[in-house]
């Protein structure tokens, strides 16, 4: 019985990711209401309407081998990967009984990641909504001085870095960190922050090696790394920080 529940939870996340991706894409293409929510999906290259099995999250991409079945146009790998991410996130949150408000934050970060990957920036309106949600979580579920201190230290450090090294971080990244700093426990926030820094640096190194480019001028979208790190830290962050403090530093 639990296996069925796990599968349904994963599919719920993956399906939601597919729907979010399609909706955001239509909004960016200035599709009119109500077609934004009701329009059938189709290949942008040949306009072929996708069949039902091609719309199955992740599996549909595998069935058509990552390209349009009619014209052969390649489909961006982001779509099945994003479906896998949100589906896995929902499943892990369910298994570890993560509070509902972190599910909502995760969905927000997922949407912001879409924008950051495509446009190297996040919309102000969504960022402000994210901050408001984080503030409500702080006021109702997470009022503690430790979270504020950890957030101020990290954000202050990054603001100094922005002055010394221009374009190191965007203001949108800083605002998202402010929000997560007050919404998460200080253990989860510190884990999320440092894990996102480490993974983004590793990605940058691999990107430079594979693309044979210089480090200068390479702009890496940080929000996807925040999102992945958020998923991991909400589940394991407190255990990691406690282990470091009690077993390594003390």
| 182-208 residue pLDDT tens | 999 999 999 999 999 999 989 888 888
- Structure confidence by residue, pLDDT tens digits, 213-238: 666 666 788 999 999 999 999 999 88
Q: Tell me the pLDDT band of 168, cut-offs 50, 70 and 90.
A: low
What is the mean predicted confidence (pLDDT) over 89-105? 95
pLDDT for residue 171? 86
- CA–CA separation, 7 vs 217, rounded Å? 43
pLDDT at 149 over 90: yes
| Integer Rg of the chain from CA | 20
Q: Compute the Cα dihedral for 52, 58, 63, 64 and give only its sign.
A: positive
pLDDT at 250 over 60: no
pLDDT at 158 over 80: yes
**Is the CB of residue 222 less than 8 Å from the CB of residue 199?**
no
**% of residues, the chain, pLDDT over 70:** 94
pLDDT for residue 27? 77
Q: Tell me the pLDDT band of 25, cut-offs 50, 70 and 90.
A: confident
How many CA atoms within 13 Å lie on the side-chain side of 166? Answer: 1
pLDDT at 249 over 70: no
pLDDT for residue 109? 96
- CA–CA separation, 73 vs 44, rounded Å? 9
**Is the CB of residue 45 less than 8 Å from the CB of residue 71?**
yes
Record the pTM. Answer: 0.89
- Structure confidence by residue, pLDDT tens digits, 119-130: 788 889 999 999
Q: What is the mean pLDDT of the chain?
A: 86
pLDDT for residue 53? 81
What is the mean predicted confidence (pLDDT) over 99-120? 92
pLDDT at 13 over 90: yes
What is the mean predicted confidence (pLDDT) over 55-63? 87
Q: Which residue has the higher pLDDT, 3 or 248?
A: 3
Q: Which residue has the higher pLDDT, 223 or 40?
A: 223
Q: Which residue has the higher pLDDT, 118 or 70?
A: 118
pLDDT for residue 217? 60
pLDDT at 155 over 70: yes
Task: Tell me: cis bond preceding 163? Omega within 30 of 0 counts.
Answer: no
What is the mean predicted confidence (pLDDT) over 4-31? 88
Provide φ and ψ at 120, rounded to 5°: 55, 40
**Is the CB of residue 121 less than 8 Å from the CB of residue 114?**
no
């Amino acid at each position: 019985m639990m296996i069925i529940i796990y599968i349904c939870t994963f599919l719920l996340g993956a399906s939601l990711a597919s729907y979010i991706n399609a909706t955001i894409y239509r909004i960016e293409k200035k599709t009119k209401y109500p077609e934004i929510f009701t329009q059938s999906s189709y290949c942008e290259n040949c306009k072929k309407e996708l069949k039902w099995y091609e719309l199955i999250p992740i599996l549909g991409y595998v069935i058509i081998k990552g390209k349009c079945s009619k014209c052969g146009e390649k489909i961006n790998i982001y779509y099945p990967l994003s479906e896998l991410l949100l589906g896995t996130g929902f499943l892990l949150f369910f298994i570890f009984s993560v509070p509902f408000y972190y599910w909502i934050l995760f969905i927000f970060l997922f949407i912001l990641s879409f924008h950051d990957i495509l446009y190297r920036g996040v919309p102000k309106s969504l960022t402000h909504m994210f901050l408001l949600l984080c503030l409500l979580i702080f006021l109702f579920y997470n009022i503690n001085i430790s979270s504020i201190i950890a957030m101020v230290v990290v954000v202050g450090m990054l603001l100094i870095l922005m002055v010394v090294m221009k374009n190191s971080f965007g203001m949108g990244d800083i605002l998202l960190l402010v929000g997560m700093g007050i919404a998460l426990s200080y253990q989860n926030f510190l884990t999320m922050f440092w894990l996102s820094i480490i993974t983004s640096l590793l990605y940058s190194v691999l990107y430079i090696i594979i693309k044979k480019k210089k480090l200068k001028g390479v702009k890496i979208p940080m929000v996807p790394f925040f999102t992945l790190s958020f998923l991991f830290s909400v589940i394991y962050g407190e255990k990691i920080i406690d282990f470091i403090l009690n077993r390594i530093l003390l």
